């Protein structure tokens, strides 16, 4: 038996974790847990589901406690405030104890019924199995188009290959999780971080469903900021473009100045050029402000990183039965 065969065989005896970041998901959480339980139980592996409460203002946390009282596989990570989905995912990854970890949203747009396919590819030897959307039901044409453009743009700009049409729904091996947890940057574009760590990866194609209940937490302004976050986190091309634009504007200004100088010498200048002067000034000023804005985006990120603040704080962490058992084993070994 080869080392790979032994590795694959050993995976049939390991544990699974499901990490679910939640923000105001009281309307969908009971149905989500029912469907996840129906999918995970037949896999025949010990498992847990780690619900991360990202500062919800509705009854999400109470529902989590009710679920944990009734189901020993439930773990709860309650953040001290709303830190955002990317940080909530990181908190869930730090709290989970599985040898493979599935990251999935609670809104049921990503169907839990795809999880067995992810687990099958993990058992075949892949460290990361990401779910690629074949279709996106229940979303507007504008959102579909902007999403498609974003993935194409960041794919061209980034130095690492970020899979197109792929969200956070995926399975990660334990060594992939440990690698991700070493990345402590404040501006966490998780789709890029997932790609950056590498390891053997494979896509599983699926159809995305409409949101089961409740309202989406993403409007177009948040999506725009998310796109800016992703591009500036994984590419310095905007800085280079600002430089090229500055050079181009300087060349155009020099050519125009030469033309004005020649025209004045050859024909005189009986009419003052106030309108053209204003156009040139505004054009140059606009170009400078764009360059300063791009520079400011990167400088702001440097400013935030130099503070070295913790990514988050917890109100409480209530592990699952599997998590408590794993902790007891580790403490006995110590």
Continuous H helices in the chain: 3-11, 29-40, 60-70, 85-95, 115-123, 141-157, 174-180, 190-196, 220-234, 237-267, 274-306, 321-333
- Per-residue pLDDT, 106: 85
One pLDDT digit (tens) per residue for the chain, 334 residues: 444 444 444 555 688 899 999 888 888 888 888 888 888 888 888 889 899 998 888 888 888 898 888 888 888 899 988 888 888 888 889 888 888 899 888 888 888 888 888 888 888 888 888 888 876 655 566 666 666 666 666 666 667 777 777 778 889 988 888 888 888 877 777 777 888 887 888 888 887 766 555 555 555 566 666 566 666 666 666 766 766 777 777 777 777 777 766 776 666 655 566 566 666 676 677 777 777 777 777 777 777 777 777 888 888 888 887 777 766 656 555 5
Residue 34 in tokens: 């029912």
Residue (of 146, 141, 64, 73) closest to 106 by Cα position: 64
- Per-residue pLDDT, 143: 64
Do 216 and 136 touch, CB atoms closer than 8 A? no
- Per-residue pLDDT, 1: 41
Residue 123 in tokens: 């058992």
Return the CATH number of 3-235+310-326, one of 3.40.50.261, 1.10.760.10, 3.90.550.10, 3.30.70.660.
3.90.550.10
- Per-residue pLDDT, 51: 92
Residue (of 137, 119, 139, 138) closest to 129 by Cα position: 119
Q: How far apart are CA 149 and CA 154, in angstroms?
A: 9
Residue (of 55, 59, 57, 1) closest to 30 by Cα position: 59
């Amino acid at each position: 038996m080869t080392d790979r065969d032994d590795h694959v065989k050993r995976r049939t005896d390991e544990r699974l974790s499901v990490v679910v970041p939640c923000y105001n998901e009281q309307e969908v959480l009971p149905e989500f847990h029912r469907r996840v339980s129906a999918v995970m139980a037949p896999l025949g592996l010990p498992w847990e589901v780690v619900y991360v409460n990202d500062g919800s203002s509705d009854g999400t946390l109470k529902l989590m406690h009710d679920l944990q009282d009734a189901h020993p596989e439930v773990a709860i990570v309650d953040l001290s405030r709303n830190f955002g989905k990317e940080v909530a995912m990181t908190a869930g990854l730090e709290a989970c104890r599985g040898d493979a970890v599935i990251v999935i949203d609670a809104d049921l747009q990503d169907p839990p019924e795809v999880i067995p396919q992810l687990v099958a590819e993990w058992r075949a030897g892949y460290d990361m199995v990401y779910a690629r959307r074949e279709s996106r039901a229940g979303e507007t044409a504008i959102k579909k188009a902007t999403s498609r453009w974003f993935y194409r743009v960041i794919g061209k700009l980034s130095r690492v290959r970020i899979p197109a049409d792929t969200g956070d729904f995926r399975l990660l091996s334990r060594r992939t999780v440990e690698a991700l947890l070493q990345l402590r940057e404040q501006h966490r574009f998780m789709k890029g971080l997932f790609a950056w760590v590498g390891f053997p990866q494979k896509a599983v194609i699926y159809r995305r469903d409409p949101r089961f209940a409740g309202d989406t937490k993403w409007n177009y302004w948040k999506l725009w900021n998310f796109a800016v976050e992703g591009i500036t986190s994984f590419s310095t091309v905007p800085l280079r473009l600002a430089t090229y634009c500055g050079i181009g504007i300087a060349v155009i200004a020099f050519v125009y100045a030469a033309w004005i100088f020649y025209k004045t010498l050859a024909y005189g200048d009986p009419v003052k050029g106030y309108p053209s002067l204003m156009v040139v000034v505004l054009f140059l000023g606009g170009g400078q402000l764009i360059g300063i804005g791009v520079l400011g985006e990167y400088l702001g990120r440097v400013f935030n990183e130099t503070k070295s603040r913790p990514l988050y704080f917890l109100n409480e962490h209530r592990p699952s039965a599997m998590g408590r058992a794993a902790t007891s084993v580790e403490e006995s070994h110590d």
